Amino acid sequence: MKKDLLSIDDLTTDEIHLVLDTAEAMREIGQRPIKKVPTLRGKTIVNLFYEPSTRTRTSFEIAEKRLSADTLNIAVATSSVLKGETLADTALNIEAMAPDMIVVRHASSGAGHLLSRICRSRVINAGDGMHEHPTQALLDAFTIREHKQRIAGLKVTIVGDLLHSRVLRSNVLLLTRLGADVCVSGPPTFVPAGIERFGVRVSPRVDEAVAGADVIMMLRIQQERLHGAFIPSLREYFTTFGMTAARVALAKPDVIIMHPGPMNRGVEIASEVADGPYSVILEQVANGVAVRMAVLYLLAGGTEAD
Amino acid sequence: MARMLLKGGRVVDPANGRDGEFDVLIEGERIARVGRGLSTDGGVKIVEIPTGLVICPGLIDMHVHLREPGQEHKETVATGTAAAVAGGFTAVACMPNTSPVNDNAGVTNYILQKAAEANLARVYPIGAVSRGQNGEQLADIAELRNAGCVAITDDGRPVATAMLMRRALEYTSMFDMPIIEHCEEQTLKGDGVAHEGFHASALGLRGIPGEAESIMALRDISLAELTRGVVHIAHMSARQTLDAVRYGKSRGVRVTCEVTPHHFVLTDEMLRAPIPYDTNVKMNPPLRGAADRDAMLGGIADGSVDVIATDHAPHHADEKHVEFDHAPFGITGLETAVSLAFDRLVHAGVISLARLVELLSVNPARILKVPGGSLAEGAPADVSVLAPDLRVTVSAAAMRSRSKNTPFGGWTLRGGVAATIVGGRVVYVNEQASVDV
């Protein structure tokens, strides 16, 4: 493995499979009465979060604790960062205390790259701006593989705010690498320039996009996008792109519905779908711990054979 | 009166139709004679120009940020003009977005005084269009002109409204003074930090489409037509803007334009490699796509582009050592322009050497109506001696500019500067180019 995990592109295809296979073993640890192994004992991991996050931070922290690492959470309000210490100086200060890994979440794309140029510690990107969220894509792939036993050849439809989504970028890189047929759909205001070069199909007609899908992945719509005139109203978004039972019925009968969270019920997804039998949204959360344990373990130098 | 004879070398002086082996006799601060086999008597310092070197009218960079007053941690008039002469420029025109803004004679005089103290390149201040560059009220333009400003601009941002631009064009038409426009439709630019396209999308960087530039250029060209004013489009980057300029020129509008070396050399691929999110490839306008870059080369080749200017924008290393979103826009350019132009334009067969001299000397002098651009007898003895075949490896650390924010560090280029002469005084000699002065 490379020193850092900043992008899915930092992983070879073999390494992606290794992470997913290792996560299978890690999941078993979470099912034991004593959910802890000594694998990362003596390792220090700093969770440096410049953006509020419940799911991802908790998931990393549980993963770290199950591997017996010493973990430390630093939550920094972005506003104070602009006035005070630079990211580079914060990184140098943390680095001076010699942690083994830094897990970073930041509102600016490429923040992890800046850290990785400064730090000897391994840097794991837990979401940088609109760029990537690689562990989310890995846990999504793990969840898909669990249900479909494969990824190659599956039709995966991703619907929502494609432009601002780091989950989209990591998933597109990972799923196309593993041979999925990826179709993305959203209002044209939410389609990033040049997206076809990612090797995905783009359709503004969501019914067409979900037809025959094996997997439907929903992306969050943020309220503040109304101000940028990306969409007229949340109500109109729901009627045009919201995932309803009627739309799900256009997909394959065994379709699974995914969402990286946090969900906006009644905006991008109807409750009947979010809570429906095909929803794997909470499984994604559960799998997140196992996948992050695998990433931490492998980055720390482990191999599957250990 | 000191006399100096530049002997040998190829004189490229398109303003006087010269391109060949000539001697250049300088007396005091002026060109005395240009001719073959000029005889010399005692008291003339003879400078042998090695074969292969080029003698041309002094290069003029009409788009430079000297940062003084107010941002001396980035650059000063002294360090900026030291960088200029090392880059082969005998004169620079400096932008008014200093602190305070150059919107009054006091600031203009201060800059000119600093330039006189530095005594390196000539400095032509450019005044603000609007007071404080706020886009509301016109600055005291006649006062600025009388103090020595050669043009006006609100560079860093566009002239805010069509009405203000109209009035500024009308008002300046009585001085026949150009308005230099930083074309950017600011609502379309939004909080963009990179060219809108695949590479910005892949990196999750907010995009700025080429149309943010061309829309404003079309506005200004239309207003120049309405008012018969003179507009110069700064740092053109998008192919749509070039089309707008061609349209304006075809209608007889008094519009000219400039392109920076980084926009005719680099593309937005640099965002990802060799260094992802390198803040030294963050500039405004942003590096565009290959089609835009190729269009700029096309405009340079066919004459649609009038000037090569650097938009030399020094920033302190600390300011650039931050997240890409938070880094200031801009790179230095004075000390790399000539090498990039030789390597990518002349040696690449895009333009002739004579055309390069037009772009870097003749045309900026004509647009700004400043002395220079010519080696005619009696002209100021501002001379650049260029070394077209010198191998130059760019070293940011070795630069004279106070700031080192260049994406070209480590590049090896063919072509450089041998010596720079301002007002008959040798102000820079490159030891690598073996000119013995």
Give A107's contacts in chain B (Cβ within 8 Å).
325
- Asked if B337 and B396 sit in the same domain, the reply is no
How many folded domains does chain B comprise?
Answer: 2
Are residues A132 and B207, on separate chains, in Cβ contact within 8 Å?
A: no
- Bridge partners of A201? A183
φ, ψ for residue B130 (rounded to 5)? -120, 150
Q: How many CB atoms lie within 10 A of CB B232?
A: 25
User: Looking at the structure, do residues B9 and B63 belong to the same domain, yes or no?
Assistant: no
The residue type at A253: P
Whether pLDDT at B404 is above 90: yes
Cβ separation of B205 and A130 shorter than 8 Å?
Answer: yes
How many CB atoms lie under 10 A from the CB of residue B20? 9
Q: Mark whether B281 and B387 lie in a shared domain.
A: no
- The side-by-side arrangement of strands in the sheet containing B412-422 is B18-21, B10-13, B54-57, B383-393, B412-422, B425-429
Interval B121-143 mean pLDDT: 97
Contacts of B326 in chain A (CB under 8 A): 82, 108
Give φ, ψ of A18 to 5 degrees.
Answer: -60, -45
Nearest CA in chain A to B289: A194
Q: Does B202 touch chain A (CB under 8 A)?
A: yes
Quote the CA–CA distance of A118 and A113 in Å, as a whole number.
Answer: 9
Among B4, B45, B56, B110, which Cα is nearest to B352's? B56
Say if CB B321 and CB B21 are below 8 A apart.
no
Token pair belonging to A73: 């959470």
Confidence of residue A304 (pLDDT cuts 50, 70, 90): very low
- B101: CATH: 3.20.20.140
B120: confidence class by pLDDT, cuts 50, 70, 90: very high
| B326–A82 C-beta distance less than 8 A | yes
Binned at pLDDT 50, 70 and 90, residue B172 comes out as very high
Q: Residue B69: is the preceding peptide bond cis (ω within 30°)?
A: yes
Q: B277: which chain A residues are within 8 Å (Cβ-Cβ)? A: 109-110, 113-114
In a domain, B411, yes or no: yes
Does a structural domain hold residue B78?
Answer: yes
Residues of B in contact with A83 (CB under 8 A): none
Could A130 and B206 be called an inter-chain contact, meaning their C-beta atoms sit closer than 8 Å? yes
Give residue B333's Cα distance to chain centre. Answer: 8
Residue B375 lies in a domain: no
Helix (H) or strand (E) holding A39: none
Residues 6+ apart with CB under 8 A from A249: none
How far is residue B366's CA from residue B60's CA, in Å, rounded to a whole number? 11
- Residue that is last in its domain, among B347, B368, B389: B368
- Give the percent of chain A with pLDDT over 90: 89
Is residue A224 pLDDT above 90, yes or no? no
Residue B321 has pLDDT above 70, yes or no: yes
Kindly state whether residues B291 and B425 are assigned to the same domain: no
Q: Which of B368, B397, B415 is the last residue of a domain?
A: B368
Nearest Cβ partner of A114 from B202, B204, B277?
B277
Same domain, residue pair B395 and B283 = no
Q: Which domain holds residue B12?
A: 3-55+380-433
Spell out which residues of chain A touch residue B238, defining contact as CB-CB under 8 Å.
none
CA distance B228 to chain A (A): 38
Any chain A CB within 8 A of the CB of B200? yes
For the segment A232-290, what is each residue's pLDDT rounded down to a tens digit? Answer: 999 999 999 999 999 999 999 999 999 999 999 999 999 999 999 999 999 999 999 99
Which of the residues B103, B268, B311, B343 is marked catalytic? B311
Q: What is the mean pLDDT of residues B305-323?
A: 97
Q: For residue B318, tell me if it sits in a domain.
A: yes
Give the containing element (helix H, strand E) for A79: helix A78-83
B243 is catalytic: no
- The pLDDT of A73-81, averaged and rounded, is 70
Q: What is the CATH number of the domain that holds B49?
A: 2.30.40.10
Q: Is the pLDDT of residue B5 over 80?
A: yes
Half-sphere exposure of B233 (CA within 13 A, CB side): 36
- Residues B361 and B391 grouped into a single domain: no
Sign of CA dihedral B363, B368, B369, B374: negative
Q: B34-59: per-residue pLDDT in tens? A: 999 887 777 899 999 999 999 999 99
CB contact under 8 A, A193 and B207: yes
Do the chains contact at A129 and B201, CB–CB below 8 Å? no
Band (B219; pLDDT cuts 50, 70, 90): very high
Helices (H) and strands (E) in chain B, counts: 14, 21
Give yes or no: residues B153 and B216 share one domain.
yes
- List residues of A whose CB lies inside 8 A of any B CB: 82, 86-88, 106-111, 113-114, 128-132, 166, 169, 192-195, 197-198, 228
Distance from CA of B326 to the nearest CA of A (A): 8
Put simply, the answer to whether B198 touches A108 (Cβ < 8 Å) is no
Q: Which residues contact A163 (CB under 8 A, 6 or more apart)?
A: A130, A186, A189, A190, A191, A192, A230
Q: CB A132 to CB B204 under 8 A? A: yes
Lookup result for tokens 């995914």 = A258
Distance between B207 CA and the closest CA of chain A, angstroms: 8
In chain A, the domains with their CATH numbers are 8-132+287-299 (3.40.50.1370), 134-275 (3.40.50.1370)
Give residue-wise pLDDT tens across range A2-61: 999 999 999 999 999 999 999 999 999 999 999 999 999 999 999 999 998 889 999 999
The structure tokens listed for B89 are 């420029």
Check B200 against A166: CB less than 8 A apart: no
**Which residues in chain A are closer than 8 Å to B291, comparing Cβ atoms?**
none
3-state class (DSSP) for residue B95: coil
In a domain, B247, yes or no: yes
Tell me the helices (H) and strands (E) count for chain A, helix number first.
12, 9
**Contact B196/A193, CB-based, under 8 Å?**
yes
Pick the range with the lowest mean pLDDT from A27-36, A221-230, B113-122, B368-377.
A221-230
Long-range CB contacts (< 8 A, 24+ apart) of B100-103?
A: B100/B69, B100/B70, B100/B132, B101/B128, B101/B132, B101/B133, B102/B126, B102/B127, B102/B128, B102/B144, B102/B149, B103/B127, B103/B128, B103/B130, B103/B131, B103/B132, B103/B133, B103/B139, B103/B140, B103/B144
| Mean local confidence (pLDDT), A124-128 | 98
Please name the residue of chain A whose CA is at the shortest distance from the CA of residue B191.
A228
Give me the residue from A166, A193, A195 closest to B204, CB to CB: A166
Residues B22 and B143 in one domain: no
Token pair of A167, please? Answer: 């989950």
Q: Which of A111, A130, A193 sits opposite B323 (nearest CB)?
A: A111
Residue from A48, A108, A136, A167 to probe the interface with B (highest B Cβ count within 10 Å): A108
Token couple for B335: 């000390």
- In this complex, the residue of B199, B204, B206 whose CB is nearest that of residue A169 is B204
B413 domain residue, yes or no: yes
pLDDT, chain B, mean: 97
A227 pLDDT band, cuts 50/70/90, is: confident
- Residue-averaged pLDDT of chain A: 94
Same-domain check for residues B249 and B329: yes
Q: What number of residues does chain B have?
A: 437
Token pair 């296979």 is found at A21
- Option in B197, B322, B325 nearest A109 (CB): B325
Q: Judge: B323–A110 Cβ closer than 8 Å, yes or no.
A: yes
Domain presence at residue B37? yes
Closest in B198, B204, B322 to A88, CB measured: B322
Same domain, B135 and B202: yes
The reported pLDDT for the residue numbered A83 is 62
Sort B174 into a burial class: Cβ within 10 Å, 0-12 / 13-18 / 19+. Answer: exposed
- Same domain as B394, residue B332: no
- Nearest chain A residue to B275 by CA: give it: A113
Amino acid at B142: A
Q: What φ, ψ does residue B134 adopt, rounded to 5°?
A: -90, -10
- Helix orientation angle between A13-29 and A281-299, rounded to the nearest 10 degrees: 110
pLDDT at A306: 44
Contacts of B69 (CB under 8 A, 6+ apart): B98, B99, B100, B107, B110, B111
Boundary (domain end) residue, out of B336, B368, B400 = B368
Q: Do A86 and B322 touch (CB under 8 A)?
A: yes
Q: What is the H or E stretch that residue A236 is in?
A: helix A234-241
CA angle (B293 as vertex; B287, B298 as ends), nearest 5: 150
Model-level pTM?
0.95
Are B200 and A193 an interchain contact pair (Cβ–Cβ within 8 Å)?
Answer: yes
Both B76 and B93 in one domain: the answer is: yes
**Confidence check: pLDDT of A149 > 50:** yes
Q: What is the DSSP letter of B324?
A: G
In a domain, B134, yes or no: yes
